[in-house]
Chain A
Amino acid sequence: MSAPPVIATSGLSKDYGSGRGLFGLDLEVWPGEVFGFLGPNGAGKSTTMRLLLDLIKPTSGSACLLGLDVATESLAIRRRVGFLPGDFALYPKLTGRAILDYLAELRGGVDRRVRDSLVERFDADLDRPVRDLSTGNRQKLGLVQAFMHEPELLILDEPIAGLDPLVQQSFHTLLGEVSAQGRTVFLSSHTLSEVERVTHRLAILRQGRLVVVDSFENLREVAVQRLAIEFSAPVDASEFLALPGVTEAKAEGSTVIVGFEGSADAVVKAAAAHEVRAIRPQAVDLEDIFLRYYRTDDPA
């Protein structure tokens, strides 16, 4: 890719003590990418986003957004970035309209037509006080405020939290449009199916450290694969557990489901010692990939 990265971090760290925080993050996100950031609670996803927006200061390392240094040019960066925090909160007594007006005034240069089209797209309720809105309806306001100035980079922390499936779909369509326009999206999510569906590449964080960055397709190739092997009579699943590369094996009637990494050769040969009726490969999903990097305490 010839264009400079939209996000570039070098050794970015935030040490909260007791092993908590973010440690030595080296990451590059490119223009037009929808980049997924995965990890369980406390892995460092929100910390990364807060560092990128200069809401907290790094212990060490540096970060550049849109070619600008986060430490010294944060104001210029924030003009060009849309942010949805994971713990999105608003003034409870104000209506959605008053809040969007306020945030648009703070930002300046918001095209009213863009804002209105987003409100319509997400069917956001602007007339009731925020305290009377459901979590999903508050989240819609969060999405509108993040997108309404058509930013070059969107940083979205758990964007579909609380949204119903129809609005989720509308949001995913919007992500596709934004990406097609060459704008960049950096999002974190606990919803693996969402990440699988919308992101071009993803990163997995564990205990504040980056363990892998790649496309879903590439990660799937090295993920745990599963075969459902149907025998003519029940077979002891423990026979398979001792085989090289096998991570799991469980019997369900006369079928044994074997999970393994790498070659299927040893599994197939062991199965051949019995009368096999059928072998059915099972689909690999992001959960398998995710769990692979979390199976042990040691970094992968």
Chain B
Amino acid sequence: MTLRLRLPLAASAVFGLIAVLLAVGALFPAVGHSIGKLSIPKGVAQLLGGADYGTITGWYRSEMGSVYGPLLIAAVAIIGASASTAGEEEDRILGLVLAHPVERSRLIVAKAAAIAAVVMMVAVACWVGLIAGVALAGGGISVGHLAAYCLQLAFFGFATGAVALALGAGTGRRSLANGAAAGIAIIGWLINGFAPLVNAISWLKYLSLFYYYEGNDPLTHGADIADIIVLGAVALLLTAGAALSIEHRDLRA
């Protein structure tokens, strides 16, 4: 049911994403080389994925990888996770569902699996869109590296969605789950961009999900298994926390 309810949003995200990736690819031959590498402060450049618009890898890393990709997948995951837990509870639907012979923890795990499937759909669409976009741009990134990027994007989506799932299942408050999960993602983005510039706090980057999503630059170097394992572990632990927390609390009226 969760998957069915989330499909319209996922479909919008998929079509929008593919359109953007094709447009970005088509623009590169015309403007990429003329922009080149921007001369901007290192921190800002870091936030923009290096701000190197002169190469196809840098172009997609900046246009897609640093902001648009994670923003879209986080939005799909966070909105889906909070709506299917706290949203259904606030809408008084969860009380009816849990009056049926269904274990709360199993229901949460099923909802997590549905959100993961939606995230995976967006990630696969991203891969298809990137392949087509890079082809329009004249090539330059291997299909394998594009797949690696999309895999890390998917795991980033799983982890950010799991944050919202844990908050939604633990509190039953949709706005809290949405707001806190989005806030954690934004703070993580800023930390990942700025913390490495100051030696004393550079270790903070390890607390950011963005570090594990793009730290090894998958478009250039391929997938980093350790990063994927960290993101996957975060997603699994938070999902387990969500299942446990809803098991023993009162459902909101």
Chain B 193-251 interface residues, beta-carbon cutoff 8 Å to A: 248-251
**B103–A50 CB distance below 8 A:** no
**B251–A55 CB distance below 8 A:** yes
Residues in B neighbouring A107, C-beta threshold 8 A: 100-101
Residues in B neighbouring A55, C-beta threshold 8 A: 95, 98-99, 250-251
Find the residue from B91, B96, B248, B249 having the highest chain A CB count within 10 A: B96
Residues in B neighbouring A46, C-beta threshold 8 A: 253
- Contacts A57-B248, A93-B5 hold; do A106 and B97 have CB atoms under 8 A apart? yes
Q: Does A53 reach chain B (CB closer than 8 Å)? A: yes
- Contacts A55-B250, A56-B251, A91-B5 hold; do A50 and B100 have CB atoms under 8 A apart? no
Q: Does A178 reach chain B (CB closer than 8 Å)? A: no
**A85–B96 CB distance below 8 A:** yes
Q: Does A268 reach chain B (CB closer than 8 Å)? A: no
CB nearest to A58 among chain B residues: B250
**A79–B101 CB distance below 8 A:** yes
Shortest beta-carbon distance from B98 to chain A in Å: 6
Residues in A neighbouring B30, C-beta threshold 8 A: none
Distance in angstroms between the alpha carbons of A108 and B101 in the assembled complex: 9
Residues in A neighbouring B250, C-beta threshold 8 A: 55-57
Distance in angstroms between the alpha carbons of A26 and B101 in the assembled complex: 26
**A89–B91 CB distance below 8 A:** yes
CB nearest to B90 among chain A residues: A89
Residues in B neighbouring A76, C-beta threshold 8 A: 101
Residues in B neighbouring A85, C-beta threshold 8 A: 92, 95-96, 99
**B5–A103 CB distance below 8 A:** no
Residues in B neighbouring A93, C-beta threshold 8 A: 5
Q: Does B102 reach chain A (CB closer than 8 Å)? A: yes
Point out the residue from B1, B91, B99 that lies within 8 Å of A78, measured CB to CB: B99
Distance in angstroms between the alpha carbons of A53 and B100 in the assembled complex: 9
**B95–A78 CB distance below 8 A:** no
CB nearest to B99 among chain A residues: A83
**A89–B92 CB distance below 8 A:** yes
Residues in B neighbouring A145, C-beta threshold 8 A: 96
CB nearest to A109 among chain B residues: B101
Distance in angstroms between the alpha carbons of A55 and B96 in the assembled complex: 9
**B96–A102 CB distance below 8 A:** no
Shortest beta-carbon distance from A88 to chain B in Å: 7
CB nearest to A47 among chain B residues: B253
Residues in A neighbouring B31, C-beta threshold 8 A: none
A sample of 17 inter-chain contacts (CB < 8 A) reads A55-B95, A55-B99, A55-B250, A55-B251, A57-B250, A78-B100, A78-B102, A81-B99, A83-B96, A85-B99, A87-B253, A89-B92, A106-B100, A107-B100, A107-B101, A108-B101, A145-B96
